[in-house]
Amino acid sequence: MSSVKRVHNFNAGPSILPVSVLEKAQSEMLDYQGCGMSVMEMSHRSKEYESIIQTAEADLRELLGIPTNYKVLFLQGGATLQFAMLAMNLRPAGASADYVVTGSWSKTAWKEAAKLGATRAAYNGESSNYSRLPAQGDLTLDPQAAYVHFCHNETIHGVEFKKEFEVPAGVEVVCDMSSDFLSQPVDVSKYGMIYAGAQKNAGPAGVTVVIIREDLLARTPEKLPVMLDYKILAESGSLHNTPPCYAIYIVGLVMKWLKDLGGLPAIHKINLEKAGLIYDAIDSSGGYYHGHAAPDARSIMNVPFRMPSEELEEQFVKEAKKADLIGLKGHRSVGGLRASIYNALPVESARVLVDFMKEFQRKNG
Ligand SMILES: Cc1ncc(COP(=O)(O)O)c(C=O)c1O
């Protein structure tokens, strides 16, 4: 495949996938393992598909060390549907839920839940334009809350929790891990529920992974529409209706790729290396490049940064694109630039970006 053009892909999601995964999917496109059809064309009730979805789940369980008392669901509707769905399922009538608001995504999750019942912001970092994370003492957690929700990595603001915070006994922790899912080892047993849209580290858009402790399924109220009911979806092994079959198949291939690489400790090391290269380039630029996130909150997945003027930022994005460095324009709420450096991005691409940054500064600084 060496003659095929591949850019340095810094897209925030959907984003880069491992070349070997794409090649495997390509090789199985017309005839999946002797079936004479692609995975897109087979019944989700077939023996072959059952094996695909079950293997994807088993490999995910192995990679994350998911305890046996947790269910894994492959759902549709994106992480955005989870914002509402988790509130519908996990917050009993009359109860309140706490939200740790550290950026756009946790804020959106909070607003969605607030439409449906009582919420509190246990922390809101808006005044710092979400450039830092709370210390334990900054959180005002309600010991009666049905759960506390937080976002492990804010994709737009580039802040990422480095360790879990303490919560009052009996309060469940619910976490949006969409943009740093599978980027590092995680102790799943500390969470009541973890969810993640696949389209950053786990696969293509179209499937959202939910990992939920079994006893929490008892909270699901009666008479929820079936596609919003964790209990029913869990009981059917994500096969209550037609699942996003092809997206789950690609997730399965990504899990194999991660396992072959050495699992989450191995990919974490690679991710730290890539992030280190880019943050070093920012820190050694004499202020020409300026990271949005406070140094102790820096994400190893999304690196938003600014330059001395918007004109230079625009020029940077344009010239970078010409050099096949794609997806570097920042989100409009932070402005500037953002390098998303997910699992599948090779270290070489981070090096090319750093060289480009240095050269750009030399010519324009
Ligand atoms: C942290 C985080 N949460 C939620 C979402 C929303 O995901 P989706 O577009 O799958 O609904 C995103 C999307 O980028 C995200 O980065």
pLDDT tens string 251-299: 999 999 999 999 999 999 999 999 999 999 999 999 999 999 999 999 9
Output the CA angle 219-220-226, nearest 5 degrees.
Answer: 170
Ligand 1 pocket check for 155: Cβ under 6 Å: yes
Ligand 1 pocket check for 176: Cβ under 6 Å: yes
Index of the ligand 1 atom closest to the CA of residue 12: 14
Q: What is the pLDDT of residue 306?
A: 97
Element (H, E) at 76: none
The predicted model gives 100-129 an average pLDDT of: 97
Q: Which residues are catalytic?
A: 105, 176, 200
| Contact assessment for residue 264 and residue 272, using Cβ atoms and an 8 Å cutoff | no
Which are the contacts of 262, defined by CB distance < 8 A and separation ≥ 6?
Answer: none
> CA-to-CA distance for 214 and 260, rounded, in angstroms?
30
Ligand 1 pocket check for 78: Cβ under 6 Å: yes
Task: Domains for the chain: give ranges and CATH numbers.
Answer: 23-260 (3.40.640.10), 262-364 (3.90.1150.10)
Index of the ligand 1 atom closest to the CA of residue 156: 16
pTM more than 0.95: yes
Q: What is the pLDDT of residue 159?
A: 98
> CA-to-CA distance for 97 and 91, rounded, in angstroms?
7
Q: What is the pLDDT of residue 2?
A: 56
| Contact assessment for residue 278 and residue 303, using Cβ atoms and an 8 Å cutoff | yes
Ligand 1 pocket check for 195: Cβ under 6 Å: no
Question: With 70 as the cut, is the pLDDT of residue 89 above it?
Answer: yes
Of 105, 106, 154, 161, which is best to mutate to test ligand 1, by the most ligand atoms within 8 angstroms of its C-beta? 105
Residue 211 burial (CB count, 10 A): 24
Burial, 36: exposed, middle or buried (Cβ in 10 Å; 0-12, 13-18, 19+)? exposed
> Distance, CA 283 to ligand 1 centroid (Å)?
29
pLDDT tens for each residue of 176-190:
999 999 999 999 999
| Single-letter amino acid code for the residue at 304 | P
The predicted model gives 98-124 an average pLDDT of: 98
